[in-house]
Amino acid sequence: MLRLGRREFGRHEPVIMAIVNRTPDSFYDQGATFRDEAALDRVGQAVAEGAAIIDIGGVKAGPGAEVSAEEEARRTVGFVAEVRRRHPEVVISVDTWRHEVGEAVCEAGADLLNDAWGGVDPKLAEVAARHGAGLVCTHAGGAEPRTRPHRIGYQDVMADILRVTVGLAERAVALGVPRESVLIDPGHDFGKNTRHSLEATRRLGEMTATGWPVLVSLSNKDFVGETLDRPVKERLIGTLATTAVSAWLGAQVYRVHEVAETRQVLDMVASLAGHRPPAVARRGLA
């Protein structure tokens, strides 16, 4: 059982985490949800389309202008409080690696801290434990936040992913984070080249076999773009193909830009796997 905020999710229940960037320079939407009203509209649409989690980020993942912890908090804390007020049942996640920001957003109502940079600030897990919040434990290959990998290598990329993510998850539980609220993430593109991310996807079953719920953040990423030689705005098909494979291999949470399309893919895979009945079954019966 995965428990986040007020919500519980069964073992075979796929969960959509919708991305809402509070940044003026996000790689995908170039700041489309930087302003409050546009961001709140995005939250409402994502919830209506089937997102159970809203992931709010205040700093672009890639290189760019410096964003202080104070500025990151300014972009996220008040917004978290307003989303909590408007959508009391939704799970609110905040994408941050800084414990100061984690503290502030948890006080404002966040349920989950999405640490995409692999525990670079070890105090973030302590914050999650103190507030009873969940934690995403990600493999980033030891990369510093907001840096791109350069000729990084692994003897066995999945072995390294398992060592790091399971280690972070076990540490979080030891600190007091509820075990049922901890997820692990292979960290596609983070500290990895395209071949590493493809291999991580092929071998995702090794992560799901650990028993920890697995989150994948695949949406429109560079490894999809390089694999198909497509720019950012033309990566949806590749993203959905990767989503289907990840679902078949047992991932549970999907961090995405396109909620409605992802919902259909996940429902179809769940039905193929025998975990979900068809929405309609009239063929050959009427």
Q: How would you label 157-175 residue by residue, b for 16+ Cβ within 10 Å and e otherwise? A: bbebbbebbbebbebbbee
Cα angle: 239, vertex 265, 20; to 5 degrees: 60
φ, ψ for residue 219, nearest 5 deg: -60, 110
Q: What is the DSSP string of 209-244?
A: TTSS-BEEE-TT-HHHHHHHT--GGG-HHHHHHHHH
Active-site residues, by number, are 221, 255
> 245 with 282: CB under 8 angstroms?
no
Q: What would the two tokens of residue 120 be?
A: 């670079």
> What is the distance between the alpha carbons of residues 219 and 234, in angstroms, rounded to a whole number?
11
